[in-house]
Amino acid sequence: MLTPQGFRFAVAASGFKKPGRLDLGVVESKLPAAAAGVFTTNRFQAAPVLAGRELLEKSETARAVVINSGQANACTGDQGLENCRVTRELIAQNLGLEEDQILPASTGVIGDQLKMDKWAEAMEQIRESFGKAEPMDMAKAIMTTDSFPKLAWRSFEAQGREVRVLGMCKGAGMICPDMATLLGLILTDAGVDPVLWRRILSWSVKESFNRITVDGDTSTNDTIYGLANGASGVTVLEGDEEALAAAVLDVCQDLAYLIVQDAEGGTKIVQIDVTGAKDDAQADLAARAVGNSPLVKTAMYGKDPNWGRIAAALGRSGAEFDPNEVSIGIGGIEIFRAGQPVPMDIDSMFAPILDRQDVEIKVILGSGEGESYLLASDLTHEYVTINADYRT
């Protein structure tokens, strides 16, 4: 693992949900870092989302990010906002920072107020682990229903020096494009103008986390933060950002793939490629309709090459096309062409393809040059079990 220079981590097992499990993580930059954030589009926005937005509107830099799991602090009113402020104050006092230099994020059950007594008790662990904890520890601390921690990293050379990019995220359920449901953190030791850094992060999120779906739900807490502290000694200037942007995008796309791989109860990663739409927006409508269709998702789980479900989803997607021009392929084999199925022994042909974890669905609408893609999970019995028992 490549950890960018100039960052230190701290974690605690605070007992927010389960005793003995890491559930609070802090990353601190030794230098003021260019700060960026991308947030949920859900109208019900959690207190840390509202606070993070406000902090980034007031300042282009930050020194730390604090993330807790087990408590979403969403739909908690003024008390939730005050509790969020106090949590930042606690971290600031214990790490020698200013409260307004700390960006917050939370995940967990919606509606419960933060357990402020446990936050106060956790500060001793935060102090003791500060600078000793590793990125993997923090990746574990932010997990909820995730079955494994999610990290990715890249490096590149610029101006004769190595620049590192490290990312981590959590997410397995309540995942849907339009700021996919997750918490994430992207760190780099490159020096970047804050305006440029925000543009790079926003673009990378659009091309990664906003192109995945598990269940069609977008959460109240979705947040991706980015810190760029310049500790490598390399300053990325306007017009020279290609290498950094490529590294950040690669990290975000790796993390997005891991989220779909870890989808609650999921067994498949389905890549849906749509081409030939009137424009990219219509291609995106088609891809999302297929990726979010419970019938398509359950067919993938059942290893059933049911092209009729794909065609039906396309037909209701809102995209404009001539059904007689549409082609559908699964796993590289065309199964539907010009409005009709292709004659073949479907079950024997597709059995080995649908035994794989990764399956491609390719749609050609035949109406233009628009294109889009989406990563989707299947929908399983286990997903229902997990979410039926989530709060209790």
**DSSP for 212-261, written as a single string:** EESSS---S--EEEEEE--TTS-EEPTT--HHHHHHHHHHHHHHHHHHHH
Which amino acid is located at 296 in the chain? Answer: V
- Is residue 174's pLDDT more than 80? no
**Domain-embedded: residue 289:** yes
Answer whether 364's CB lies under 8 Å from 326's CB.
Answer: yes
Q: Last residue of a domain, which of 261, 277, 307?
A: 261
> What's 130's domain CATH number?
3.60.70.12
Same domain (yes/no): 382, 312: yes
> What's 328's domain CATH number?
3.10.20.340
- For the chain, the distance separating the N- and C-terminal CA atoms, rounded to the nearest angstrom, is 36
Q: How many CA atoms lie within 13 A of 391 on its CB side?
A: 5
Same domain (yes/no): 276, 238: no
Element (H, E) at 12: strand 7-12
Which amino acid is located at 107 in the chain? Answer: T
Same domain (yes/no): 248, 340: no
**Domain-embedded: residue 2:** no
Q: Which two tokens stand for residue 335?
A: 């199964």
pLDDT tens digits for range 238-254: 778 999 999 999 999 99
Same domain (yes/no): 194, 315: no
**Total residues belonging to the chain:** 392
Q: Last residue of a domain, which of 261, 294, 328?
A: 261
> What residues are annotated to the active site?
181
The whole-angstrom separation of Cα 330 and Cα 243 is 34
Give residue 59's pLDDT.
Answer: 97
pLDDT tens digits for range 99-151: 999 999 999 888 999 999 999 999 999 999 999 999 999 999 999 888 899 99
**Domain-embedded: residue 368:** yes
pLDDT tens digits for range 328-371: 999 999 999 998 999 998 888 898 999 999 999 999 999 999 99
Same domain (yes/no): 256, 327: no
Q: How many domains does the chain have?
A: 2
Question: 135-163 b/e with 16+ CB inside 10 Å = b?
Answer: bebbbbbbbbbbeebbbbbbebebeeeeb
Same domain (yes/no): 92, 227: yes
Q: Last residue of a domain, which of 235, 261, 287?
A: 261
- Is residue 377's pLDDT more than 70? yes
Same domain (yes/no): 96, 129: yes
* Burial class of residue 93 in the structure, from the number of CB atoms within 10 Å of its CB (0-12 exposed, 13-18 middle, 19+ buried): exposed
Crossing angle (nearest 10°) for helices 280-291 and 307-315: 130
Q: What range defines the domain where residue 334 resides?
A: 269-388
Same domain (yes/no): 276, 257: no
**Domain-embedded: residue 219:** yes
